[in-house]
Amino acid sequence: MTEASSPSAKRTDEGITLTRLFDAPRDLVFAAWKDPELMMRWWGPRDFTTPVCEIDFRVGGTWFSCMRSPEGQDYCSVCIYREIVEPERIVYMDSFADTEGNVVSASYYGLSPEWPLESKVTVTFDQVDGKTRLTVNNVGVPQNQDADDAMAGWNESMDRLEQVLRQRVMQR
């Protein structure tokens, strides 16, 4: 059974950083970030679904996804992978997108115009005594209410990831 522990999320000078320790092997946690079927099960805040998740997992490849709120509103993003070091690190540039995958400003979704057109996300997977410490560093998140909302969304996604990992560990 996996157990998420030691969650932390904080604002930084450049954005936000989130750290979570999962009681699951690093290869399994890493796989959850490259397999679209797995990602659809955990990506997004609590009560959201991810009906669209297309991943071309290679440097220069794209990841397009749409999260759907309980009210039926889609929130899409398109990412471009800049660095992949399996199973240690993923770096990608993240942009808001319309449902066709075209980059749009954050204001398209009613968010602060302070968001850049793209933000840099670095995800690291550190092996710690058979567990995995996952760190997400999201550079470019405006230092206003959006940062708090982004941290809440990331934390809820990590809660959902923990559930998926628990099921996967039990199947091994």
pLDDT single digits (tens) 49-79: 999 999 999 999 999 999 999 999 999 999 9
Residue pair 79/93 in contact (Cβ under 8 Å)? The answer is yes
140-163 mean pLDDT:
93
The string of pLDDT tens digits covering residues 98-111 is 999 999 999 999 99
Res 8: pLDDT:
81
Residue 3, pLDDT > 70, answer no
Q: Which amino acid belongs to residue 58?
A: R
The chain-wide mean pLDDT, for the chain, equals: 94
Q: What is the C-alpha separation between 119 and 93, in angstroms, rounded?
A: 6
- Here the tokens at position 50 are 């991810």
Q: 123, 136 in Cβ contact below 8 A?
A: yes
List alpha helices for the chain, DSSP H.
Answer: 26-31, 36-42, 145-171
Confidence bin at 2 (pLDDT 50/70/90): very low
pLDDT of residue 5: 52
How far is the C-alpha of 18 from the C-alpha of 138, rounded, in Å?
Answer: 8
Number of domains in the chain: 1
pLDDT at 13: 83
Q: Give the separation between CA 106 and CA 104, rounded to whole angstroms.
A: 7
Q: In the predicted model, is pLDDT for residue 4 greater than 80?
A: no
* Residue type at 7 in one-letter notation: P
What's the CATH code of the domain at 150?
A: 3.30.530.20
| Dihedral sign for Cα atoms in the order 99, 101, 102, 106 | positive
Tokens 């808001």: give the residue: 96
Report the pLDDT value the prediction gives residue 6, as an integer from 0 to 100. Answer: 55
The answer to whether the predicted template modeling score (pTM) of the entire model surpasses 0.85 is yes
Please give the average per-residue pLDDT across 159-168, as a whole number. 95
For 139-162, letters b (16+ CB in 10 Å) and e give bbbbeeebbeebbebbbbbbebbb
Average of per-residue pLDDT across 145-154? 91
Residue range of the domain that includes 115: 5-171
